[in-house]
Amino acid sequence: MDIAQEALGTVAEETLDPADWAAVQALSHQVIDDAVGYLSDIRDRPAWREMPADVREAFSAPLPRSPAPLAAVYGEVSRTVMSYPMGNVHPRFWAWYMGSSNFTGALGDFLAAIQGSNLGGGNHAAGLMDGQVVNWCKQMLGFPASASGTLVSGGSMANIIGLTVARNTKAGIDVREHGVAAIEKPLRFYGSDQVHSCHRKAMEALGLGNRALRRIPTDAGLRIDISALRAAISEDRAAGFRPACVIGNAGTVNTGAIDDLRALAKLAHEEDLWFHVDGCIGALIAIAPDNAHRVAGIEWADSVALDPHKWLHAPFEVGCALVRDAIAHRRTFAVTPEYLESMPRGLASGEWLHDYGLQTSRGFRALKVWMALKEHGVDKFGRLIDQNIAQALYLAERIEAEPLLELAIQPTINIVCFRYQPGVKGEALKALNTEIMLRLQEQGIATLSDTTVHGEHWLRVAIANHRTRRDDLDLLVGETLRLGREITAQGPSGK
């Protein structure tokens, strides 16, 4: 382009929009068709498979400098990313605790990306929907309408939001202005010895340190010992600490154990503590007709962390933090620079949603949750939770009926810990069951994880999957027995 053309205003300006919308539309139809096929026949594919070397090498390719046809780009994504997933949408994925997504939610994510709104705040429809989904979460858990909340990336961040409000409210000083070093008496937070590791990270991020989180022993069912908790609070006060918060588990990550939330709420009230519930595993049991009683008392919490990408099966990622005291919530995070001041009219007349968390830029997480809830209704999600819990009880019965299988503990909700036990102990038993777990994965049969319960190693099945059927669990039992016999005959290193 020469100077004369620039003077005439004919500079060739660029855009990321396609030159041929019709071609993009045709390819988009193919993508949707492939996506429907991807989910409709997922049961016929392996639960997981290892990537071959050429696929792994594709992710070491250098930075692209020149364009490539969109069809070729999609072809590469299909060959690599789509063909070798983590597998958590598969009906026999039971590792860790994920949720299994849903197609309507995926459409919601696509539409949210197309609409492109930033949910930091403002007067626009996506912001109102964000608030509506938070209100629906409050209704599901029995929180008052006056409570506050925010959508975040997941459970870890939801817990950090709640614990940050707890710290600032109970510190006795203006922490935002003066910092944690100005707190006169060191704060103490309390949780059971089964609390998720994200709470340690929260203590570190809040400047309190890991030692500020006192782990309280648990009973035989791995629920927090209320008497031991009360004694620890008394001991800390006498030693010059300031007890600030108790963290209740509405489902632990290891076994799904649920603390006595009513008793914890009562104790927190008596001791003037903030009552936070980590409900990322089981808070949404509150919508399950047969099992809602298990989380009774969650509605009395000062704050709750929950995960719509678990038992509401929203595509990753979306978590939610609820805070009973809306004023305390906003006071913990709100900052109003001149470029983010509210206006009486126009785009800036809407609520600033970033005042309730750490992110100024926020994705449109609400739409995928909203669409799935509108399509299916919350009652169906409640029934699916009951279904998963019933499946866990069924699996436990199958395990107890097999002489070579051993159950760690009766399941409380939907997590089952077990192992193959041919009469060996210690490291040999752990090595045997670890090899069973790895072969189940490598052979594409099922995906389990492992953990420690009462000091011993166990395989762990977390059934948070709307696609799981009882015959999948029958297959797991049969294949575990087959592999256990095979490995015992070969030795753990035999292949």
Task: State the pLDDT at residue 202.
Answer: 96
pLDDT score of 473 more than 80: yes
User: 212 falls in which pLDDT band (50, 70, 90)?
Assistant: very high
| Mean pLDDT score, 100-119 | 95
pLDDT score of 309 more than 60: yes
Structure confidence by residue, pLDDT tens digits, 248-287: 999 999 999 999 999 999 999 999 999 999 999 999 999 9
Structure confidence by residue, pLDDT tens digits, 10-21: 788 999 999 999
Mean pLDDT over the full length of the chain = 95
pLDDT score of 7 more than 60: no
pLDDT score of 373 more than 80: yes
Q: Do residues 338 and 469 share a domain?
A: no
| Mean pLDDT score, 232-245 | 98
Instruction: Report angle CA 430, 435, 438 to the nearest 5 degrees.
Output: 125
Task: State the pLDDT at residue 99.
Answer: 83
Output the domain CATH number for residue 405. 3.90.1150.170
Q: Do residues 332 and 476 share a domain?
A: no
12 within some domain: no
Task: Using the 3D structure, point to which of 375, 398, 420 is the last residue of a domain.
Answer: 375
pLDDT score of 3 more than 80: no
| Beta carbons of 147 and 324 less than 8 angstroms apart | yes
pTM: 0.94
User: 8 falls in which pLDDT band (50, 70, 90)?
Assistant: low
Query: Comparing C-alpha atoms, which of 151, 117, 135, 126 is closest to residue 359?
Result: 151
User: DSSP secondary-structure letter at 227?
Assistant: H
Q: Do residues 40 and 132 share a domain?
A: no
Task: State the pLDDT at residue 10.
Answer: 73
Task: Using the 3D structure, point to which of 375, 396, 421 is the last residue of a domain.
Answer: 375
234 within some domain: yes
pLDDT score of 2 more than 80: no
Task: Using the 3D structure, point to which of 375, 395, 410 is the last residue of a domain.
Answer: 375
Task: State the pLDDT at residue 33.
Answer: 96
Q: Do residues 255 and 236 share a domain?
A: yes
The rounded Cα 152 to chain-centroid distance in angstroms is 10
pLDDT score of 494 more than 70: no
Q: Do residues 314 and 419 share a domain?
A: no
4 within some domain: no
Instruction: Domain of residue 118: give its range.
Output: 106-375
5 within some domain: no
494 within some domain: no
Task: Return d(Cα 339, Cα 349) in angstroms, integer.
Answer: 13
Output the domain CATH number for residue 148. 3.40.640.10
91 within some domain: no
Cα 349 to Cα 121, 124, 149, 372, distances in angstroms = 9, 9, 20, 29
Structure confidence by residue, pLDDT tens digits, 413-429: 999 999 999 999 999 99
115 within some domain: yes
Q: What is the dihedral of CA 371, 373, 376, 380, to 10 degrees?
A: 160
Task: State the pLDDT at residue 347.
Answer: 86
Q: Do residues 60 and 174 share a domain?
A: no
Q: Do residues 344 and 471 share a domain?
A: no
Task: Return d(Cα 356, Cα 323) in angstroms, integer.
Answer: 10
pLDDT score of 307 more than 60: yes
Task: Return d(Cα 490, Cα 493) in angstroms, integer.
Answer: 8
Q: Do residues 223 and 238 share a domain?
A: yes
Q: Do residues 370 and 390 share a domain?
A: no
Domain count, the chain: 3
229 within some domain: yes
Task: Return d(Cα 138, Cα 121) in angstroms, integer.
Answer: 20
Q: Do residues 370 and 406 share a domain?
A: no
Q: Do residues 71 and 152 share a domain?
A: no
Query: Comparing C-alpha atoms, which of 309, 311, 329 is closest to residue 319?
Result: 309
Structure confidence by residue, pLDDT tens digits, 21-77: 999 999 999 999 999 999 999 999 999 999 999 999 999 999 999 999 999 999 999
Q: Do residues 243 and 356 share a domain?
A: yes
